[in-house]
Amino acid sequence: MKRMFDLAISSLLLIVLSPVIAITAILVRSKLGSPIIFKQQRPGLHGVPFYVYKFRTMTSERDSLGELLPDHLRLTAFGSLMRKSSLDELLQLVNVIKGELSLIGPRPLLMEYLPLYNEQQAKRHLVRPGITGWAQINGRNAVSWESRFEHDVWYVENRSLLLDIKILLLTVKKVLKSEGVSNGNHVTMPVFQGTTTNSEG
């Protein structure tokens, strides 16, 4: 049922939003250059890696040593607007159709975080990751990693189609208000370095 829901809604959204996607692609090409699409390997269901697609939001500026500048220096006003409006996430509807993502589920994070999760936090990979999820409507990037993972695990243990519909509707509200996009002085979230105390209790 969840897979049918994902396919139906994501296919409809791709059709309805195709003009927005096309215009966004043109603007990214005009303001940030090529490539238009940013893809990065992320852990999917059971930690199996896949490539997630996003519209590019940062420049490719490098320092004198050829290293990329910090994110906050490469994120332009246009890129910030893209993130606040979640326009950069639209291409992930393709990941949903391919079966790599669900519309609703724990957000796929970085591959290097996999060995840092404690046993409880690792439960977030028992379901297919999502474009949005319970953590996103309960603070998005404005909460701590530990709180975010608690929300993710709660979703895994309480998931249902009705809950997915509720999260989808509340996500629209969050996006319209541009809430929780950043965490403190960070563009999105600080780097996760592992939880020092076991949060299973």
The Cα angle at residue 182 between residues 28 and 97, in degrees rounded to 5? 55
Evaluate if residue 123 carries a pLDDT over 90: yes
**Please, are residues 132 and 168 in contact by the beta-carbon 8 Å criterion?**
yes
pTM for this model (two decimals): 0.84
The fraction of the chain above a pLDDT of 70, given in percent, is: 91
Q: What is the pLDDT of residue 195?
A: 75
Per-residue pLDDT tens over the stretch 151-185? 999 999 999 999 999 999 999 888 887 665 554 45
Q: Tokens 């589920």 sit at which residue? A: 105
DSSP string, 75-130: B-HHHHHHHHHTGGGTTHHHHHHTTS-EEESPPP--GGGGGG--TTGGGGGGS--E
Which residues, in sequence order, are bridge partners of residue 53? 39
Per-residue pLDDT tens over the stretch 18-64? 999 999 999 999 999 889 999 999 999 999 999 999 999 998 888 87
Q: What is the pLDDT of residue 198?
A: 46
**Whole-angstrom Cα distance, residue 111 to residue 125?**
12
Higher pLDDT, 76 or 198: 76
Q: Tokens 């609703």 sit at which residue? A: 104
Residue type present at position 41: Q
Q: Tokens 């992930």 sit at which residue? A: 92
SS3 content of the chain, % helix, strand, coil (to 5): 50, 15, 35
Supply 14's token pair: 């791709």
pLDDT grade, residue 199 (50/70/90)?
Answer: very low
Evaluate if residue 118 carries a pLDDT over 60: yes
- The CA–CA distances, whole Å, from 130 to 64, 72, 104, 150, 156 equal 38, 25, 4, 16, 12
Supply 160's token pair: 């249902």
Region 60-87: mean pLDDT is: 86
